[in-house]
């Protein structure tokens, strides 16, 4: 567990003033990269890759790992068994639909914890051709079967946020009566505003009891995944589901590292997350899955602590003037690159980095040459190209 050095956080005092008197949100993290993340188009994790990713997730400090859906394939069953035997710190969870065969597959692996899912919106029930009454029976039977098998159950109501509120209450109370110990509010299509998430979490707590352990499982179709997770925490959710980098179907899942950093740096929460492990884990998951991220991506983007603009480079020696928090928190270097938008300060910093001697008198001519080459090639300069230009003006 790492402790954030608050002297490395430069977010000012506005948040503290706005949040004064409000309780600090607290969330634990349930990682579903191996199940929901793998549902991203074209992504396949083999058992060895799943074990490697599980170890990376564990190193970050997320408290629960959803190892997979054992009914899917023999590969998934083997991967789950490998993860269970790896001696990780995180609790290892399975995933099952409200079906006897799915419960049996979880039980056969000796899993102690499982989410049990069932669609609960009328739109989903219509698509499946199942009545409300029939689905209630399936939910009750499946949870009782799992509990009888010694499995600790979290009920997962698919499309919760589009369900009729009266039926939502009936479903979750049925799950509670059947023996579910925790309850996942699921924004399957990410249609909820943060205010709506807060409303539904609060409603669920009023129906299930103030001490009920509630989860929030969100996606990111409108770019609100992190905001909705924070809203869930402020409304009393105990757990948030998500993935590394927000990988997942459509626009992806809620991004767990992003949520954790937001809670820690903007809300003053103590998450226990090892932020220095996040960027290497993200990089490796990308390698395995074969996807790329925009370089300006929060938390893991390549450009977070890299500067091209000359006006910013002129302030580079005072990191808190140009960055909201220190790159040391994420254990990643800062740097300057040279291109069309560079200034003389950029050249001085890069020259010092490369051990080059450049007189102040030579900087204006050198800057012209840097800009001209960048514009001509429509890209940044390499270090070798810069060395060549320095040699030409020396």
Decide if pLDDT at 291 tops 90. Answer: yes
Proportion of the chain above pLDDT 90, given as a percent? 97
Asked if pLDDT for residue 394 goes beyond 70, the answer is no
Q: Hey, what are 300's tokens?
A: 């893991």
Q: Which of 182, 167, 174 is nearest to 113 (CA)?
A: 182
Exposed / middle / buried, residue 167 (Cβ in 10 Å: 0-12, 13-18, 19+) = middle
pLDDT beyond 50 at 1: no
Taking each helix axis from N to C end, the angle separating 256-266 and 225-235, rounded to the nearest 10 degrees, works out to 60
Distance from C-alpha of 279 to C-alpha of 333, rounded to nearest angstrom:
12
Q: Which single residue is written with the structure tokens 């009750």?
A: 140
The mean of the pLDDT values for the chain is 96
Rg from Cα positions in the chain: 25
Domain with CATH 3.20.20.70 in the chain: 6-289
DSSP-derived secondary structure for 246-274:
G--STT-B-BHHHHHHHHHHHS-------
The proportion of the chain whose per-residue pLDDT surpasses 70, expressed as a percent, equals 99
pLDDT for position 2: 56
Report the pLDDT averaged over residues 182-202.
98
Q: What is the pTM of this model?
A: 0.94
What CATH topology corresponds to 6-289? TIM Barrel (3.20.20)
Quick one: pLDDT at residue 179?
A: 98
**Model pLDDT for residues 65-101, shown as the tens digit of each residue:** 999 999 989 999 999 999 999 999 999 999 999 999 9
| pLDDT single digits (tens) 296-313 | 999 999 999 999 999 999
Q: Each residue of 112-133: pLDDT tens digit?
A: 999 999 999 999 999 999 999 9
Residue in the block written with tokens 């937001």: 262
Estimate to the nearest angstrom the gap between the alpha carbon of 138 and the chain centroid: 32
pLDDT of the residue at 323: 96
3-state SS class at 327: helix
Q: What is the pLDDT of residue 393?
A: 78
């Amino acid at each position: 567990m790492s402790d954030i050095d608050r002297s490395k956080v430069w977010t000012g005092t506005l948040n503290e003033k706005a949040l004064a008197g409000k309780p600090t949100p607290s969330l634990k993290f349930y990682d579903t990269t191996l199940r929901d993340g793998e549902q991203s188009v074209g992504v396949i994790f083999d058992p060895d890759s799943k074990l490697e990713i599980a170890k990376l997730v564990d190193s970050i400090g997320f408290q629960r790992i959803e190892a997979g859906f054992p009914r899917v394939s023999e590969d998934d069953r083997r991967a789950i068994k490998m993860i269970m035997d790896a001696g990780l710190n995180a609790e290892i969870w399975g995933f099952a639909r409200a079906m006897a065969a799915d419960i049996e597959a979880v039980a056969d692996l000796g899993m102690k914890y499982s989410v049990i899912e069932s669609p609960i919106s009328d739109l989903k029930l219509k698509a499946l051709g199942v009545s409300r009454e029939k689905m209630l029976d399936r939910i009750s039977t499946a949870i009782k079967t799992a509990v009888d098998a010694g499995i600790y159950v979290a009920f997962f109501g698919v499309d919760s946020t589009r369900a009729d509120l009266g039926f939502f209450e009936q479903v979750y109370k049925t799950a509670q009566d059947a023996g579910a110990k925790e309850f996942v509010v699921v924004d399957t299509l990410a249609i909820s505003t943060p205010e709506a998430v807060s409303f539904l979490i609060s409603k669920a707590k009023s129906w299930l009891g103030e001490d009920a352990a509630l989860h929030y499982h969100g996606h990111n179709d409108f770019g609100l995944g992190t905001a909705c997770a924070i809203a869930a925490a402020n409304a009393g959710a105990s757990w948030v589901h998500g993935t590394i980098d927000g990988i997942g179907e459509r626009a992806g899942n809620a991004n767990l590292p992003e949520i954790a950093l937001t809670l820690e740096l903007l809300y003053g929460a103590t998450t226990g997350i090892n932020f220095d492990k996040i960027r290497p884990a993200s990089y490796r998951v990308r390698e395995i899955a074969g996807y790329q991220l925009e370089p300006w991506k929060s938390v893991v983007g390549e450009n977070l602590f890299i500067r091209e603009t000359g006006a910013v480079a002129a302030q580079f020696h005072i990191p808190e003037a140009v960055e909201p928090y220190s790159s040391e928190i994420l254990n990643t270097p800062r740097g300057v690159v040279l291109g069309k938008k560079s200034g003389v300060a950029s050249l001085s910093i890069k020259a010092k980095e490369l051990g080059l001697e450049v007189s102040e008198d030579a900087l204006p001519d050198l800057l012209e040459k840097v800009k001209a080459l960048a514009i001509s090639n429509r890209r940044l300069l390499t270090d070798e190209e810069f060395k060549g230009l320095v040699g030409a003006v020396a």
